[in-house]
Structure 1
């Protein structure tokens, strides 16, 4: 296998004499700034739950039997009970207790053999009462996670392994840096930017390798993240969003008053954009590399135009993906508003909906900006660092009677369009 074919299969720009130097020139300052930011913003006084605090204690157990009975009559006008009866449960320590069948909206449906989670509450007399709160799902989730990992590794092989390692790094930074630092009172925007930069630097190079193509994607992602953060700050201030739009954010303001809720909204926009940004920038950088390999005579303009056309198609599909993702997550809310008589103008301008509109609009603008930035940088480097074209080998003599009809490239018309 030739060296050129080896580079081509990995989607990298071939024979770049200064590619390693350029990678280090961008990578070293970015890593140093990211490490410095993480050291300065690292959480030191993260709020911890007090031991022995009042409240229900969680215990686990297994349902032994369910004994339903007819519900007693209720006074006229009151809503009848949905389910009545008792559940016998064997706790993890071997003790057996009896509790009521859970009722109400979203109550878990239990059957014999189910592993469940219960709340143990002490009353004033010291008597412990139990209530079923949820199912245990650890075994099922472990099986699903194992199936997910096997599918990724079976298809991606070594790339699948590195992708899973990158996913582990992402969760580690989220759980051990970003979330605790925000709870510690650090600026959510700064924490999100530094955390996103750390995730991007580790995951991109771990997944795609230390190459000039990855370096170009890193540069495009950093520039697009900066644009997204600035636009998010301007948009949230201009639309007068407070970041408190639902019960979860409302509860957070009560329990963690030091958290800047508008900053938390900005942090969510930055982190949410990163997941799609790296996909777009890596695709554009690799696209330019492939085009430069397949068409060595292409200059900057042709490389840029051809790769941008691919980027437009990619962005169009990504925008639809973003909208569908937000619509799917907000489907209960959309049904609630649709069932009421709220005017559409009032619905769209409410803080909860306006917050999602700003999130999707700013994220999309950041994605759109990523395409020309990454494509231009990749095309510029591909042209500047292209190796000298080797001399063409002497043509073999053509035997009479064996002339072949020239093969026309069916994509030529599409590639040369708009050039």
Structure 2
């Protein structure tokens, strides 16, 4: 089902322009409000950078260096030289020999057991370590393992991702990547500093998600009635998500102070609302899934109209919702599994406690994850019928259809329906 059929659907240029005008009349006030809100909430630079010390910062005489592992062997522990275990044998540890990037002879370094149990150091690994050999007070190990250097694999994976997207989606994939970079840039330059300055997290979250959706959808998919329809459905879903999230966080008494990062924020940025930060995170997490669902649903309605251009609005809506229901079924458990995967360490940890399951699920940290799943899913589910209805109205307003249908809409199965090509958006 390619884009060459679009001329058959949009048969009346005058009505097509009228449909686009109606959609823009609905979208323009929202876009203007988002623009004004951006100007009003734009950070003033009142929060100085570097409030927290560099986690890799070093004291005088201590140097953070990078080296390459040449080999790892099981030898007597450097930190407990001369000590013996209960059986009278010398204590053994994993000792890695490091070749410094700055030059010089290789040296042995004891690696913490919590690291070697998960990922032993291997030949060729690049690591960061603290060089304490020049400190006068050094009485322990002269070199301390800090972390792995991961820049190369991350860069390679990012390049592979970009290449795959561009090869499969071609020019549209490239534009989508550019939109993603632009959205992330806006989040870093606007949303994060605005939150640090104590601006309303709900307003900041709604403004950020609205601006990003306007820019990303139109940049990636072009200015068309399909894109405008998907954008309207996405904004509706965001509004529903925001309203339910406000109620849920208050009713469930979520504080947002459930981990070490949150506690650090409450100390160094006392004017930052942790519960508000949780709300903002719910909106940002939800907009990507909403965008996926609404753009596919909007495109599906157009493609169905091309197959049976004389179908009635009721028939078109019913067929579109058959696709939408399958999309709901698949996306809802996709969201749940995505959050479950992210929270897997928490799930494993709480399973070890000797307490009822309901008590575990209602703890602050687990309740946050559960509410993320439920709030995001409700917004997603409600956005599908709204997007479908808007798409049907837009399709009919462009001059398609009639009271005497000449072709019956197909009733695709779930998997076949989801194969509707969402890339033909113009």
Q: Is the 8 A contact 1:99 1:131 kept in 2?
A: no
Q: Residue 116 of structure 1 corresponds to which residue in structure 2?
A: 127
Q: Residue 238 of structure 2 corresponds to which residue in structure 1?
A: 225
- Structural mapping, 1:188-267, within 5 Å: 188-267=201-280
**Distance in 1, Cα, partners of 2:370 & 2:176:** 31
Q: Is the 8 A contact 1:66 1:88 kept in 2?
A: no
Q: Is the 8 A contact 2:85 2:91 kept in 1?
A: no
Q: Residue 38 of structure 1 corresponds to which residue in structure 2?
A: 38
Offset at residue 225 of structure 1 (A): 0.4
Q: Does 1:355 align with 2:368?
A: yes
Q: Residue 319 of structure 2 corresponds to which residue in structure 1?
A: 306
Offset at residue 124 of structure 1 (A): 7.4
C-alpha change, 1:193 and 1:152, in structure 2 (3 Å) is same
Q: State TM-score, norm by structure 1.
A: 0.83
Please give the root-mean-square deviation of Cα atoms over the aligned residues, in Å.
3.3
**Distance in 2, Cα, partners of 1:153 & 1:196:** 25
Deviation per CA, 1:284-333: give whole Å up to 9, x if none: 21122122222222222222111112111101100110111111112222
Q: Is the 8 A contact 2:237 2:383 kept in 1?
A: yes
**Where does the alignment leave 5 or more consecutive residues of structure 1 unmatched?**
390-407, 415-419
Q: Is the 8 A contact 2:132 2:143 kept in 1?
A: yes
Q: Residue 93 of structure 2 corresponds to which residue in structure 1?
A: 83
**Distance in 2, Cα, partners of 1:33 & 1:82:** 66
**Where does the alignment leave 5 or more consecutive residues of structure 2 unmatched?**
414-426
**Distance in 2, Cα, partners of 1:209 & 1:413:** 27
Q: Count residues with an aligned counterpart.
A: 392
**Distance in 2, Cα, partners of 1:388 & 1:162:** 33
Which deviates more, 264-273 or 168-177?
Answer: 168-177
Q: Does 1:59 align with 2:65?
A: yes
**Distance in 2, Cα, partners of 1:343 & 1:234:** 26
Q: Is the 8 A contact 2:257 2:263 kept in 1?
A: yes
Q: Residue 5 of structure 2 corresponds to which residue in structure 1?
A: 5
**Distance in 2, Cα, partners of 1:332 & 1:374:** 37
- Structural mapping, 1:154-173, within 5 Å: 154-173=167-186
Q: Is the 8 A contact 2:76 2:92 kept in 1?
A: no
Q: Secondary structure at the match of 1:106?
A: helix
Which deviates more, 16-25 or 308-317?
Answer: 16-25
Q: Residue 141 of structure 1 corresponds to which residue in structure 2?
A: 154
C-alpha change, 1:153 and 1:52, in structure 2 (3 Å) is closer
Bigger CA radius of gyration: 1
**Distance in 1, Cα, partners of 2:255 & 2:277:** 10
**Distance in 2, Cα, partners of 1:208 & 1:138:** 32
Q: Does 1:174 align with 2:187?
A: yes
Which deviates more, 264-273 or 59-68?
Answer: 59-68
Q: Residue 94 of structure 1 corresponds to which residue in structure 2?
A: 103
C-alpha change, 1:291 and 1:141, in structure 2 (3 Å) is same
Deviation per CA, 1:14-47: give whole Å up to 9, x if none: 7413134235434543333222222222222233
